Every structure is written in C-alpha cells, then in structure tokens.
Chains A and B, each alone.
Chain A
C-alpha cells in the first residue's frame, strides 16, 4: 500500500525537496520502513525505485537516524532507526543516480542546514559532484552568515570540503581556472584546504595542477610547494618534465622560507635540469640553504661530495661526460653483450643513480633473459637504481617465477617502492594501480 502510494508520488515530483514535516515524506518513509523490515537484498532497488522524491527523505533519515512515517491515523511520526538500518539505508542511498543527488544538493543549499546535514551534504557532493559543482561545494560548506574573506569556517566543514574536493578532482579533474576561481571565492580559512584537497588526491594530475597554480594564488606558494614535495615523495618517478621546470624557477626565490621549500620540492620531484642551480646553491651564504642544496644533490646522485660547489661541479661534469661518451657503449653491452660483459655493464650502470630513469628501461629488458643468474643480478641493479619504471616488469616476474628470481624481484620491488608485499603479485599490482 505504502509502496504504491509512494510510487504515485514519485510520478509527480515536487519542486522543492521534501522535509520531514511534509506529509509526503511520511508516505515515502513508511514505504522505506516497510522495505527495511522486508528482504534486505531488495532494499536498494526498492528505495531507488521510489524515485527522486525519496532522496530528501533518505538523506534526512541518514542525518537524523530516524524516518518520518504515517501512523494509523495518518499523522506524521518518527521511527528511530538502528545502526544497522542506517548502514543499510546509506548503502541504498548510493544507488540514486548521481545527477539526481547533485540536483537535490543544489536545492538543499538554498535552505538552512543543521551541522549533520551540512556535513553529510558536503560528503555526498564529493561522491557525486563534478568540477562544475565547485561553487555548490563552497555554498554547502559555508554556514549561514559566513561569507566574508576573513569569516571563520568550522574545521570539520573545512576537512569535509577538502576531502570532497579531492574526490571531485579524482573523478573529474579540475582545471587551474576552476581552482583559482574556487580559491578566490572562499574565505581565507578555507583557502588552504583547496591546496590540501588537491594534494590529498595523491595523484599525478593533482601534482600537475598544483604546479600550474604556482604563482597564481595569493600567498599560497609555500603551501603549494610543501604539497608538491609531499607528492613528489609519494608518487612513482619519473614525473612529468613540466612539473620540474615550474618548480625549479623557485630556486631563485629571495625569501628564505620559499627558497628552502623550493629546494626540498626539487629534491622530492627529482628535477635533473635543476642540478646546476643546486650546485650553485651549495655555496649559498645562508647555511640552511647550502645544506638543503647538498641534501638534494645527495638524493639525486646517491653520493656525497660535501659542501661547496667545487667537487659537485666536478662530479656533474664527470657524470655528464660519462653519459655522453661511455653510457651508450655500456647500455649496448647490457642489451647485446655476452654474459660477462652484460654483468659487468650492469654493475657499472648501477653506480650512476643520477641517470636511473634512463638506465632502468634498458636493464628491464634483461629480465626476459633465460639466464636466471643474469635476471637476479638485473633485479638487484634495478633495486639499487630505484626507478619505478621497472615496477610493472618486476611484478610480472614475481607472478611467474620462483626461487632466487622471485626473491630478487620481490626484494627489488621492496627497495623501489618502500613497501613489502613479498610474493603477493596481486598486492603489488594494486600498489602500482594506486600510484598510476
């Protein structure tokens, strides 16, 4: 009976979202209660089948842990939901079309919300919204009366906003124009969460976008550089070249803190083209700057030449000479040499960490060799070089080999990724998927 009535109501959608006090809510609520008490497996289909009008009712139920329903006299009353019922209803809510939920949230933003409703609405917009909904995200995040640039926004809303932005960007990547508009349209309290939201995507697209925002947002460069450094540490390398170019411009920053953050970012995202400038900075008159530059050079080269540019310049010249004159022959040996020559070349190549992303693809080819000892050696060298380029092939090796080769491949993966899933190919694959 209730279901039939509810279906009828669904056929004539109302202009505004229902509220708990609307009689129609009671009809839909009663239908949902009936469904909750029936077959659990049919719940999702039943709830979604109630149509658009059911969205506000379910939303309200999730916010208040109770459903409006009609009693025997046709009066509205509330039915308390158990924790399990709330969970079931929450799962069912995700079955509504994203477009409808987004439309409902747009309507919801027009009226005052309780804290729970607001929190839930922000989260749901993160689930269903697109980059076109960023303005709506702001509207849902800001409580009534909070509009000025220096207005305070409660932290839970800021955190929800940040997570939702990350979710939206992950599904429908935002452009720098979108983000600049968003950043400039929110109170300062929320502005940092725009940056952190992009960082929270833990993705290359998030990183690229952050780089595009450098210099675009007032006073936000330190925050952006910090996020870039964090993502640089987290994401597989090599990263897109344009990332390095934009960040290395900040190595000429005058402000000390900005310069230090830039050096760290350059270190973490591995900008080969910034090496010469980093070497210059090892002579910087301010101690922490010179130290940070040395640390960055140490990380990219895998060796230590101490403070001061003299020895780093020598190293850089030597490294470049090696790459131009000796590396081609060495890489040829790895590709086509006899066993002894290959092995020697592999060991020699493993010393040149600076060019690891260029060397690794050549070494990866040797993993297909039938010579198990050579494959073990190649794994060791790849582990030493530490380039993510080798990860897919190493995972493949983990899946199809055993004994020493399996151990060596797993060990190499562990050294490259910093994680240890042993011989679990699926776990390694999942890690790779999550990072690419």
Chain B
C-alpha cells in the first residue's frame, strides 16, 4: 500500500511546492517577528536602563543631600563606603567626602536596578555669624531688642546682670507688695525657688531705680541667681498687683494669677528713673548681638528707643538707616552676599497627620519620625523627646495648646515642610537651655511662619525661604534665619554665640556628573544582590554617617600585659584632626576610621574584628594591616 502510493505517477516536481513556499514564508515571518521581538526587547531594555539610570541619578543626588545634612550636623559628609553602600529609596548609594582646606568634595554614586550614576559636588565651608538674619532686607518700625550671649559660659540671665529696668507705669506690669517686679514688657521675673518660698529677687531688678526698695532694704540687697519663667506658676509670689486686662490674663493663661491678684489691692508701681545705659525693653547683656541682611536695614522707632546691643551688617551694596535706634557695636556691610542653602530634610517615612485634642499629652518618641501634619488643639499638649529628628508636613499650635520639648537627653531637630502656625496663647517649653539642642527648620512656607506662641525658645530657627513673623511673647535665645522678618512691638531676640558653628553651612561651589566608578560600571546587575547577597541587610542611612568626632579614652602611661601597669586615664573628645596622641595604651574605640598617628620610635599594633559577611579579625603591627572591607565591630590600638 505504501509502495503503491509512493509509485503513483503524474505530479512529480510540483508536488509539495506549496509546503516549501509556506515554510519559506513562515521562516521569513518568524525571522521578522524575532527581529521585531529583539528590537522591542532591546528598546525595552534601553528604556528600562534609561529609567534606572535616571533613578540612579536621583539617588545619587539624594546621597549628596544626605551628605550635606551630615556636614551640617558635624559629620564628615561621607556616607557608607564603596564596598558597603547604604539603602536610599529603592537603591543603594555611597558618598565619598574629601576635604582640602575649606573646600569639600562630595562624590555620590547611586545604583538602582541596572542604573548607575555618579554626581560630584564641590562645597566651601563658610563660617559666618548671621545672628538674626533676613535675606531680603529688614525694615522695622517697632521697638525691639537684640543682644547676645554665650550659653556655654552662663545662662542668659546671669549674663544680663548689667541690665536695668525702667518702668513706664502706663505699660502693663506687675509688682509685688514690696515693689519687686514680677512682670514687665513681656518678661517674667520670679522668686528663685517658689517651692521653698525663698525670697531671692531676680538679678535684673535694679534697686537704684526703686526708692521704696532702697528705703526698705538698703542699697545692697542680697541678690541671688534666678530664672525667668514663662509658665504661670511664676506668678504665685507673695502679695502683688496686676495691671493686666482680663483679655491679657486670658491670653497668658494666667487663670490662677487672675484669681489671685483680683483679691489684692493695687499697689502703685515704682516711679521710673532715667538710666541711659539701661534698655527700655527689659534687661540685656548689652553686647554680642548680631543683626544682618543681604539687603538694606531700615529701623525706626516712634519715641521708644530700639536697641541693637551688638553689630549690624547690611548687604554689600545696601545701606543702614536708623531713627531712634541704638546700635552699640559696629555698623558695616557683609563682605559678600550670603547664599542660604535650602533646608535638607532627612528621609523619614511619613505617618498620617493628626489633630491632637486629648487632655492627655501625646508623646512623640525619640529617633526619626515624620507626620504629614500636626495640629494641637486648645488644652492639649504635645511632647517631643530627644534625641531625634521629627519631620512635620505642617505644624499648628492652637491658642491654649502646649508643646514641650524634652531635649536634655539629646537634641531635637524639628523640620516642617509646610505651614508653621504657632498661635498667640500657645506655649512652647524647651527643657534644655542650650540653643544647639533644638532647631526649627522650615523648608518653605508660602504663608508666613507665625511665631506668636509664648516661649523662651532656646534654639535656632532656620527658614531661608520663608517670611517669618515673630510675636512679642516668642523670645528667641539662639539664632533666626529667614527670607524676610517681621517683628511685633517689644520682641526680644538674643543671639547665642555658641551656635555660630552651627551656622557653618557648606556653600555650593559647583557640581558635575562624573564617570561611574569601574567596580560598579562593569556589573549592571541588581546592586542589592551584588553587594549583600540574599541574606545580609544593607546598612541604613543614619548609621552610615561617618562622624568626624572621636571619643578616645586612654591609659596615659605604659601598659604591660604581664606586669599590668595602668596609669592615669586621659580623654580626648573632638575632631579627628585635632587629636594628638600621648604615650600610652589606647583602650577605647573611636567612632570611625583611624589613621596611624606618628609617635617617633614607637610601633603601633592593632587588634580588630569586623564584619565582612563571615566575620574576620586581625592582630599585629598596624603597618602590616592590609585594611578591611566591612563594618568594624571592635578594635584596640596601642603602641610599643
């Protein structure tokens, strides 16, 4: 049967030609489809690669921002390392920082998917004392006071001893039954220790200005140190009278005071005495203040003198004019325009916003945390615990609310990316009196930053892109940087010179896209897999900031393992470059990288263990140490 079919005559050559044709067509179509697929795949890959490259670029840029943030917080600017990049968004990044003189070079390499990008930025570190600064000129026609002090030396109160008060009886004030001032011009004066009723009067009180006092206690009363208080328990002294309207009393939340003083007959305030050296706006250190601007500074006052106890610097091509204004220091121009860098907000996960309206205080824990918006209702209290950085989309303290900043255990940096509305009648209390322990940084608010709450704000305010309005109850002990500045009558701003270093914000000189380092250029795989495999966790940004500060403890004398001779301890705490080794056995662990200090005739030895995925260690001469890759766990360095 098969043979019969095979041998059938008639259509020898044409038989199967359609099949051949079909096969050819199919082959051609398949080829075209394959080519198309290749092209599509290639295009997709290119697009993906291009997208990844873009994302890598953004990550590299964000790395620069983190490095910048680190620099402004006293770190070296380096983030992670080439062999240990850190997580940032969907990618990994490391930033190398090189400092030459005042110039800092930051090189950031970002990696996302197959994308790679390297950005290099040159910065200049500038050391400018801005004090109270407004970028676009300052024009004020109300009385205010600016002076300065150094919180590292003594509290403001102690340094303001030279100040005296003249009382204008027509202005709101409060004196006790023995004519001691409790309140005047927005300032509170109180007994040193209300709980023990020790009647030590405030150092600002000038007996010479009060004849009644002189008559009663003599010319040399005992002065004790004291503290100012913005809380209303300061009002519970013995005897007194209030010349405050009910509205004012409500404004300050002085319920108890209002109740108390209403029962006591009014005592006439002491007559004012003229004192040309004193400030009409209350006590002052009389010096060390600073007000500056890139533009003109125009100050005028209608009869009530305005005092700038310190220096005034207007813009390079601008002018100063003052009517009824005392400037005790020098008046001059800034050497060049100060370029304010934008606020660098740390990357934190933003939690949903909230309105806190419970009478129980809400606690924001230490560490880094963010909320889309924060509003505190009347009668409610928000407590921020340091150390930490909080990022708020907006911050509103409604009248009658309270913000307590517990920053004695560590600094609090409060970043607000939108509206700041601290209303009249709200209270802000800062636990630490060191301005470096608190900063309020406002990214850019289209509405003015409203600082009308009652506060003795010991901290820095950095709002370079915003208009800032300060109410008379908001007393700043630190610094204030803004785009424009508006002050209410009677505002008191005290520049804390210990914060001058904190204004050492690096200035951008230039930037460029750099060649991608060869080690990451060649392998375009998933960077997480390349660097950390399946099981290992890459480090987080915060823990990879490289500190420029060492804390070293040492036994100064020689140490012998056999005889165990230990001598006195020595300590060093400060920047690495300032460290000078003394002879001895170094026992503790600097925060990061250690360059062998030179000690003539001595050889350094090192014992170190580190994490390179499996855990390694070295023990031997420092100079024979080949270096390590990974995080150092523990190390001890000594010389013999």
Contact = CB atoms under 8 A, between A and B. Distances in A.
Contacts of A404: 567-568
Nearest to A193: B361
24 contacts: A64-B239, A154-B256, A156-B235, A159-B231, A188-B358, A189-B379, A191-B359, A233-B409, A260-B365, A260-B367, A261-B363, A264-B365, A287-B348, A287-B349, A288-B348, A288-B349, A291-B540, A291-B543, A304-B633, A305-B633, A307-B538, A307-B539, A404-B568, A407-B568
Interface string A307-326: 11111001000000000000
Contacts of B177: 65, 80
B555 interface: yes
A433 interface: no
B381 A192 contact: yes
A148 B467 CA distance: 42
A257 B365 contact: yes
B363 A115 contact: no
A377 interface: yes
Interface string A349-378: 001000000000000000000000110110
B361 A377 contact: no
B611 A191 contact: no
Closest 5 CB pairs of A and B: A308-B537, A188-B359, A115-B260, A260-B365, A156-B233
Contacts of B199: 83, 86-87
A260 B351 CA distance: 14
Q: How many interface residues does chain A have, given as a range?
A: 35 or more
Most chain B beta-carbon neighbours within 10 Å: one of A157, A286, A292, A307: A307
Contact of B351 (A80, A86, A256, A304): A256
A138 B379 CA distance: 19
Contacts of A305: 611, 633
A150 B197 CA distance: 32
Interface stretch (B17-25, B109-117, B557-565, B617-625): B557-565
Interface of B is mostly: loop
B415 to A, nearest CB: 15
A83 B566 CA distance: 57
A115 B367 contact: no
Contacts of A310: 535-537
Given A156-B236, A304-B631, A373-B566, A291 B367 contact: yes
Interface string A125-167: 0000000000000000001000000101011110110010000
Interface in B365-395: 365-369, 379, 381, 383, 385
A155 B231 contact: yes
Contacts of A64: 239
B523 interface: no
Contact of B260 (A116, A150, A226): A116
B365 A83 contact: no
B573 interface: no
Contacts of A87: 197, 199
Contacts of A191: 359-360
A343 B559 CA distance: 12
A294 interface: yes
Interface string B334-369: 000000000000001101000000111111111111
B369 A83 contact: no
Contacts of B358: 188, 219
A283 interface: yes
B363 A226 contact: yes
B263 A374 contact: no
B543 A223 contact: no
Contacts of A374: 564
Most chain B beta-carbon neighbours within 10 Å: one of A123, A256, A290, A308: A308
Contacts, number: 161
A368 to B, nearest CB: 17
A114 interface: yes
Contact of B369 (A192, A260, A407): A260
Given A155-B232, A188-B358, A373-B565, A264 B366 contact: yes
Contact of B359 (A189, A286, A351, A376): A189
A114 B365 CA distance: 39
B255 interface: yes
B195 interface: yes
Contact of A123 (B195, B231, B367, B379): B195
A94 to B, nearest CB: 11
A152 B379 contact: yes
Interface of B: 177-178, 195, 197, 199, 231-233, 235-236, 238-239, 253, 255-257, 259-260, 263, 348-349, 351, 358-369, 379, 381, 383, 385, 409, 535-540, 542-543, 555, 561-569, 611, 615, 631, 633-634
Given A163-B195, A307-B539, A380-B555, A288 B369 contact: yes
A343 B360 contact: no
B236 A116 contact: yes
Given A65-B177, A115-B260, A283-B537, A411 B569 contact: yes
Most chain A beta-carbon neighbours within 10 Å: one of B263, B565, B566: B566
Given A83-B238, A150-B359, A374-B564, 10 more contacts: A152-B379, A155-B256, A233-B409, A260-B365, A283-B537, A291-B367, A303-B634, A306-B537, A310-B535, A373-B564
Interface in A67-109: 80, 83, 86-87, 90
Contacts of B361: 192, 223
A288 B367 contact: yes
A90 B199 CA distance: 12
A296 to B, nearest CB: 11
Contacts of A49: none
Contacts of A143: 259
Contacts of B235: 156
Contacts of B349: 286-288
B259 to A, nearest CB: 5
Contacts of B409: 233
A257 B364 contact: yes
B259 A115 contact: yes
A220 interface: yes
Nearest to B347: A287
Contact of A307 (B253, B540, B564): B540
Contacts of B615: 311, 314
A124 B178 CA distance: 25
A64 B238 CA distance: 7
A306 B631 contact: yes
B611 A306 contact: yes
Contacts of B542: 291
Contacts of B565: 373
B360 A192 contact: yes
A119 interface: yes
Contacts of B368: 287-288, 291
A155 B454 CA distance: 15
A301 to B, nearest CB: 10
Contacts of A119: 236, 256
A288 B555 CA distance: 37
Most chain B beta-carbon neighbours within 10 Å: one of A303, A304, A339: A304
Contacts of A339: 564
Contacts of B611: 305-306, 311
Nearest to A217: B360
B199 to A, nearest CB: 5
A286 to B, nearest CB: 7
